[in-house]
Amino acid sequence: MASSADVAARAGVSRSTVSQIMNGHGHRFKPEMVEHVRQVAQELGYRPSVAGRTLARGTSDIVITLIPNITFGPRLRELIDRITAELAQAGKTNLLRLASSDDTLEDAILGLRPVGVWSVAPLSPEQRARLATNNVPVIEQSRELQVAIDAEIGALQAAHLAETGYTGVAVAMPVDQREQPFATARERGVVEWCAKNGVDALPTLHLNMERGTASETAFLPPHGGRTGFAAYNDEAALAVLGAARRAGKRVPEDIGVIGVDNSTVAHVSEPSLTTIDIDVEYSAHEIVKALLLGPQSMPEQPLDIVKKQITVVPGESTSRMRNQGESLFRS
């Protein structure tokens, strides 16, 4: 394997010059020299030592993403993909790790000397303090903000169902404990919106999303009018569609369904699903900016900004009974 000395000899420069150019300090040299050294390095197959670079700078080029123990849905995957791609453009590597309560979590992180940590999972105050002591920037969404976002999603679902003519609204949420922190906040958003706007809030439909539980899923709360279901995500919305079919209910005439995630299944299901979309491109850019520039670059009023990124994507699983431009309710 070629060394920096081999590159220096072939390029006709000093080993120090090669080291600086290959370790992100090319701005100190003329562009043509930087291009020449990099071309020689590529021809020789030279790669700078990650360990050596980390030792010299005190940090690596690694960003660690901590993932909570939840269903790895399509929107989270897309968000991580976008963050990974944008970090790569900045010369950083995104390393995913499942978060746990293991005391060695910080040791595993600190051993890699990351340039930053993006935590989707909530960190304990002790973990946060130890990372701060070791000068590891942490970007995380507060539990309070996540709850507020999920409540906003639920309220938007309820508002859409009411505006499209459904006189009663029920939440459809999975029984999987991993989803409860998010599902209960969305449920609360639906219930509070209904109470505020005089819409019947029906009993929550709890879904066991396992094979062989069709009879349980097929239970639909009785209601004298048209019933709308605010499903936890698009998969839960599909389960409601199946339950409606088994119960002999027409969608969207008798029952309306709105999911969350704007996933592929929402578009290809029959009927197609109305769903909630969240602009992950904007979120990814803001997270990467905070990782590169520091937590201080985060917006001061993130909830107001996130609200603007949450929209309804109409499908065939809800039908509008009023004029498209008329809005009778406000979230």
pTM of this prediction? 0.71
Average pLDDT, the chain: 82
What percent of the chain is predicted at pLDDT more than 90? 31
Residue whose structure tokens are 């979590």: 105
| 62-76, 112-126, 152-166, 169-183: which is most confident | 152-166
Residue 222 has pLDDT above 80, yes or no: no
Residue that finishes a domain, picked among 140, 155, 178: 140
Contacts of 286 (CB under 8 A, 6+ apart): 298, 299
Residue 24 is part of which domain span?
4-48
Residues 160 and 235 in one domain: yes
Residues present in the chain in total: 331
Residue range 267-298, pLDDT digits in tens: 999 999 999 998 888 888 888 888 888 878 77
Q: Are residues 97 and 213 in the same domain?
A: no
Query: Measured in whole angstroms, how far is the alpha carbon of residue 156 from the centre of its chain?
Result: 18
Between 2-16, 91-105, 243-257, the lowest mean confidence (pLDDT) is in 91-105
Closest CA to 310 of 166, 171, 148, 170: 148
Domain membership of residue 213 (yes or no) is yes
Place of tokens 């050294």: 37
283 is a domain residue? no
Alpha carbons 238 and 202: distance in angstroms, whole number: 19
**Rounded (to 5) percent helix, strand, coil in the chain:** 50, 15, 35
266 plus 157 within the same structural domain: yes
**Residue 156 domain-assigned?**
yes
Q: What is the pLDDT averaged over residues 146-172?
A: 94
Amino acid at residue number 257? V
Same domain, 69 and 103: yes
Write the CATH number for 69.
3.40.50.2300
- pLDDT tens-place string over residues 110-135: 777 888 888 887 777 887 888 888 88
Same domain, 245 and 175: yes
Find the angle CA(270)-CA(272)-CA(277) to the nearest 5 degrees.
Answer: 150
Identify the domain boundary among 254, 274, 294. 274
- Last residue of one domain, picked from the residues 274, 302, 321: 274
pLDDT, residue 327, reads 42
Q: Pick the more confident residue, 135 or 193.
A: 193
Strand runs labelled E in the chain: 62-67, 93-98, 116-119, 138-140, 168-174, 200-201, 205-207, 227-231, 255-258, 275-278, 310-313
Same domain, 173 and 252: yes
Do residues 236 and 208 touch, judged by C-beta distance below 8 A? Answer: no
Distance from C-alpha of 76 to C-alpha of 320, rounded to nearest angstrom = 30
Do residue 134 and residue 193 come from a single domain?
no
* Same domain as 175, residue 260: yes
Domain shared by 35 and 90, yes or no: no
- Within-domain flag for 302: no
Residue 137 CA to residue 114 CA, distance in Å, equals 9
Q: How many domains does the chain have?
A: 3
